[in-house]
Chain A
Amino acid sequence: MKKQLIIRKFFSLLLPIFVVSVFSFSLLHLIPGDPARYILGDFATPQQLAQLRHQLGLDRPLYVQYISWMVKLAHGDFGTSLVANVPVSELIKGRLSFTLKLTGTAWILAWIFGISFGIISATKKHSLIDYGITTLAVFFMSMPYFWLGLMLMLIFGVKLGILPISGPGTWKNLILPAFTLGLPQIAVIARLTRANMLDVLEKDYITTAKAKGLPDTLVIYKHALRNAMIPLITYMFLQIPWLFGGAVVTETVFAWPGMGSLLITAIFQRDYPVVQAIVLIIGTLTVIANFLADITYTIIDPRIRAMG
């Protein structure tokens, strides 16, 4: 029965991915601007523009362009960048690895620090530390990535000079962008952990465990934390779209050569194939993340299994 459910859920993924593909395709074509104009520059005559549009196949009806894009995609071909004249897969290959490095590291940081601070906050409820963590969490949750990035750069890169300011390089270059992207997530996870821990700590079985005479640390880490983690597992996947979104800004600030900076350039150049490919990849990753969240939740919690 469980297998059936997972298969059913898997197929239900295809619909959102299809919607994402249609969306990413039509969005750019709807806004004004023209890749032919970008390529040929301001002095191009209407005839030259029309000719290039024809060469690029941009004069065909939108649905024809969409179908031909999908057919190519089915063969694993993202097409060729209109501006760079290089296969899109070639352009993205190098960039995707940088984005994954950044988001992956931010993800790990978010969980390590988020849970630690959450536990501290919960066990020292209403203490000065708890209030401090809460204040900082609210602060970091509400700060835009752009500002956060510039501040971290200014403090650790420029003033203290202990970390590289920008660009790719060694693991040190990853620290500032990863924290920029991770800090708001650390804050969210810390808050979630605290709330869930407090919830669990009031449960009868914790009182029982304490009454048995188990040491506090054992109660907290073995009994309370494990149960408090269950709702958090879903968030592990749900936060992935946020990380990709934040990466676009973070990469630009830190001159990190990921997909985000490529996306921004491509949008300005109206380089349709590149934008479509990136939006599709991020969209698909998001859909998959949601799917995994769904599945893990189903597996963890028997009540949801029954309902599904």
Chain B
Amino acid sequence: MKKRGFIGFALLFVLVAAVVAAGCIGGETTTQSPTSPTETTETETTQTSAPKHEMLVIGYTRDPDTLDVHKSTWIDITTSIVFAPLINLGTNGEIIPGLAESEVSEDGKVITFHLRKGIKDALGNPITAEDVKFDFDRYKNPKTKSPSVGLYLGPVEEVKVIDDYTVQLIYKEPYGPALTFATMQSMGVFSKEYFESVGEVEFGQHPVATGPYYVTKWVRGAYIDYERNPYYKREYNPDPTLTNPGPPYIENVRFRIIKEPFTMISEFEKGNVHVLLDVPTEYYKQLKDNPHVTMIPFLEYVLHYIGFNCQKYPFNDTRVRQAINMAINRDPIVEYGVDGLAVPIHGPLVPTMMGYSQKMEDYAKQKYPYDPEKAKELLAEAGWKDRDGDGILEDSQGRKFEVEMWVSTGEPEAQKVAQIIQDQLKQVGIKVNIRIVEESSFTDLVSQGKHQMYLLRYGLMDAQILFYMFHSTKGVKRMFFYRSDLDEALEKMGTTVDPTEREKYIEEAEKILTDGAPMVPLYARKVFIAYRNDIVEGIKVNSYTQGIYLDDAKLK
């Protein structure tokens, strides 16, 4: 073969290979080369070429693993508009009816749901008590391998159909947060017929249920398309803030998955994305000044706190932990650590958690006012004095008060907060060394008790979080703060369904936690939903579910 001939062949090969790479292998939807300007690679239209505002586009940073609410590891807005629960959590934090009305038995072991008549899913399949039973049975079936069933469904022994419109959840023992969690989309209702006709995998990709929207198309990593449920009725969520009597006004909704914040903000400012579900903190100021942007704040039900290892020197002394509670000033932490986008918290719960008690927040605030002098006194009482005059406290054996504080890589703002804490504790003679620990191994290391103190957060929509954080055997291992009276209060909280009675036990647990001071509660973040007010109106949020309502939304 002559050299020249081969080069010709090689160049031809490049061309063919390129076309193959770009087109044939590359496209499920096309065989054309994407560089050809006269051809489109996808048949569907995009935001840029579509006529103005036919579809509501919501920007979202997460790429869901599955849309099957029983199997998903992360329950969020991508499924809450699809799965309507039996009962709802109203915008004021009260339980309101939904597809059903609920009734709790005297002993708290049975919750009866009276279903509305004539419920249909988005494809018109009728929903009866049999469907509810099918759904919950599937949820608790070990074969489903649901990561969330223990939390949301709780210790349900049997799902019993009384008649077509009555179904009962029968618990092994009363489950305290049962009503709160019954409002989650994981407890949402879908048609047995639809599920069985499409199968489990397809159901996880294109769920159809009883919520205001259903999924029509999902291109993983790119977008999820929804169409409105024509059978949806306002009584499925009779929240007083909503006015739309029927199905949502907007027919098509798309969630666009964009992970890079700069890209997201660019699309939002261009008007290609109409709603941002979580405004990145660094862009808050920029968007606030934009007249076309409306921002709705809500308080995240996540508490950021300093945790101590209560079984390890020097934090095995309650007085030391209490002293640090008085040495921390939350104001500069909120103002400089998190740019003012937070609310200081003194007690173990955040106002948007169900079961929050203002009384106990006030109690904690009074018990530990910011008072470095008093903190020093308390430390001296515990034997910590500056014996050699170097500004750092020593105990009676001359050991210096020098501790390590762990900070997770998962929270960029935490490193700023840590430095402020470091500085504040220095004022009372405690030397803090900050150690950055990789996010995915952080909690594993902490649960092994290798830490002295750390900076982290915990969150859940219900006060039940305290049970998981602090119960000595059934909780996670974080602060190693174990008290039999605390366990007892937490267990009672966990098995009392009646909200007023339950509140007693929540307050009891909160008091023990405040007095014993295994942690320093710091703040809860304010997060913002932003929307383009020149494109869409009527977006509403619910702080207690941390979700948005599209029922009343209209495109302009």
Residue interface bits B191-205, CB-to-A below 8 A is 1, else 0: 000000000010011
Structural contact, A173 and B476, CB atoms closer than 8 A: no
Residue A14 is within 8 A (CB to CB) of chain B in the complex: no
Structural contact, B41 and A167, CB atoms closer than 8 A: no
Known A83-B65, A236-B14; contact A94-B28, beta-carbon cutoff 8 A: yes
Q: In the assembly, what is the distance between CA of A166 and CA of B270, in Å? A: 11
Residue interface bits A56-88, CB-to-B below 8 A is 1, else 0: 000000000000000000000000010111100
Residue B311 is within 8 A (CB to CB) of chain A in the complex: no
Structural contact, B26 and A97, CB atoms closer than 8 A: yes
Structural contact, A40 and B147, CB atoms closer than 8 A: yes
Structural contact, B204 and A85, CB atoms closer than 8 A: yes
Residue A38 is within 8 A (CB to CB) of chain B in the complex: yes
Residue interface bits B234-263, CB-to-A below 8 A is 1, else 0: 000000000000000000000011111011
Known A45-B476, A171-B34, A261-B63; contact A150-B27, beta-carbon cutoff 8 A: no
Known A94-B220, A167-B222, A170-B49; contact A261-B259, beta-carbon cutoff 8 A: yes
Which residue in B27, B73, B270, B444 is a CB contact (below 8 Å) of A32?
Answer: B444
Minimum CB–CB distance for B199 against chain A, Å: 12
Structural contact, A111 and B14, CB atoms closer than 8 A: yes
* A43 CB contacts on chain B under 8 angstroms: 151, 460, 468, 475-476
Structural contact, B46 and A173, CB atoms closer than 8 A: yes
Q: In the assembly, what is the distance between CA of A23 and CA of B35, in Å? A: 36
Residue A215 is within 8 A (CB to CB) of chain B in the complex: no
Which residue in B22, B39, B257 is a CB contact (below 8 Å) of A255?
Answer: B257
Structural contact, B18 and A107, CB atoms closer than 8 A: yes
Structural contact, B46 and A158, CB atoms closer than 8 A: no
Q: Which of B2-10, B77-85, B374-382, B495-503 contacts A (4 or more CB under 8 A)?
A: B2-10
Structural contact, B260 and A172, CB atoms closer than 8 A: no
Residue A241 is within 8 A (CB to CB) of chain B in the complex: no
Residue interface bits A165-186, CB-to-B below 8 A is 1, else 0: 1111111111000000000000
Structural contact, A165 and B267, CB atoms closer than 8 A: yes
Structural contact, B440 and A32, CB atoms closer than 8 A: yes
Instruction: Output the nearest chain B residue to A103 by Cβ-Cβ distance.
Output: B21
Known A34-B444, A169-B42, A299-B6; contact A253-B66, beta-carbon cutoff 8 A: no
Minimum CB–CB distance for B36 against chain A, Å: 7
Pair count A-B, CB < 8 A:
207
Known A161-B270, A253-B263; contact A33-B440, beta-carbon cutoff 8 A: yes
Q: In the assembly, what is the distance between CA of A88 and CA of B201, in Å? A: 12
Q: In the assembly, what is the distance between CA of A300 and CA of B22, in Å? A: 26
* B25 CB contacts on chain A under 8 angstroms: 96-97, 100
* B10, B37, B204, B441 — most chain A CB neighbours (10 Å): B10
Residue B221 is within 8 A (CB to CB) of chain A in the complex: yes
Structural contact, B22 and A39, CB atoms closer than 8 A: no
* A43, A172, A230 — most chain B CB neighbours (10 Å): A43
* A107 CB contacts on chain B under 8 angstroms: 18, 21
Residue A42 is within 8 A (CB to CB) of chain B in the complex: yes
Minimum CB–CB distance for B208 against chain A, Å: 18
* A170 CB contacts on chain B under 8 angstroms: 40-42, 46, 48-49
Minimum CB–CB distance for B406 against chain A, Å: 14
Structural contact, B27 and A229, CB atoms closer than 8 A: no
Residue interface bits B215-226, CB-to-A below 8 A is 1, else 0: 000011111000
* B37, B73, B272 — most chain A CB neighbours (10 Å): B73
* A84, A153, A262 — most chain B CB neighbours (10 Å): A84
Residue interface bits A263-288, CB-to-B below 8 A is 1, else 0: 01100111000000000000000000
* B440 CB contacts on chain A under 8 angstroms: 32-34, 37-38, 268, 270
Minimum CB–CB distance for B54 against chain A, Å: 15
Structural contact, A255 and B438, CB atoms closer than 8 A: no
Residue B292 is within 8 A (CB to CB) of chain A in the complex: no
* A38, A108, A230 — most chain B CB neighbours (10 Å): A108
Residue A101 is within 8 A (CB to CB) of chain B in the complex: yes
Instruction: Output the nearest chain A residue to B218 by Cβ-Cβ distance.
Output: A94
Instruction: Output the nearest chain A residue to B201 by Cβ-Cβ distance.
Output: A86
Interface size class of A (residues with CB under 8 A): 35 or more
Known A158-B270, A255-B257; contact A101-B34, beta-carbon cutoff 8 A: yes
Residue B546 is within 8 A (CB to CB) of chain A in the complex: no
Residue B474 is within 8 A (CB to CB) of chain A in the complex: yes
Tell me the B248-294 residues at the A interface (CB within 8 Å).
256-260, 262-263, 266-267, 269-270, 272
Residue A91 is within 8 A (CB to CB) of chain B in the complex: yes
Minimum CB–CB distance for B487 against chain A, Å: 15
* A34, A91, A109, A172 — most chain B CB neighbours (10 Å): A172
Residue A140 is within 8 A (CB to CB) of chain B in the complex: no
* A193 CB contacts on chain B under 8 angstroms: none
Structural contact, B260 and A108, CB atoms closer than 8 A: no
Residue interface bits B463-482, CB-to-A below 8 A is 1, else 0: 00000100000111000000
Which residue in A93, A94, A253, A257 is a CB contact (below 8 Å) of B260?
Answer: A253
Tell me the A127-154 residues at the B interface (CB within 8 Å).
150, 153-154
Q: In the assembly, what is the distance between CA of A37 and CA of B4, in Å? A: 60
Known A42-B443, A94-B220; contact A108-B22, beta-carbon cutoff 8 A: yes
List 29 A–B pairs whose Cβ atoms lie within 8 Å, in order of A's numbering. Answer: A37-B444, A38-B73, A42-B476, A48-B150, A81-B65, A94-B221, A101-B27, A105-B22, A105-B35, A108-B18, A154-B266, A164-B46, A164-B47, A166-B258, A166-B267, A167-B256, A167-B267, A169-B48, A170-B41, A170-B46, A171-B36, A171-B41, A173-B48, A229-B7, A230-B7, A252-B259, A258-B221, A300-B6, A300-B7
**Chain A interface residues toward B at CB < 8 A:** 32-34, 37-46, 48, 52, 55, 81, 83-86, 90-91, 93-98, 100-101, 103-105, 107-109, 111, 150, 153-154, 157-158, 161, 164-174, 226, 229-230, 233, 236, 252-258, 261-262, 264-265, 268-270, 296, 299-300
- Besides A43-B476, A45-B476, 20 more A-B contacts (Cβ < 8 Å) are A43-B151, A85-B65, A94-B221, A101-B34, A103-B21, A105-B22, A166-B263, A167-B223, A168-B42, A168-B219, A168-B222, A170-B41, A171-B37, A174-B34, A229-B10, A233-B7, A255-B256, A255-B260, A256-B222, A300-B7
Shortest Cβ-Cβ A-B pairs, 9 listed: A257-B221, A169-B46, A104-B22, A33-B440, A104-B21, A32-B441, A257-B222, A84-B65, A43-B468
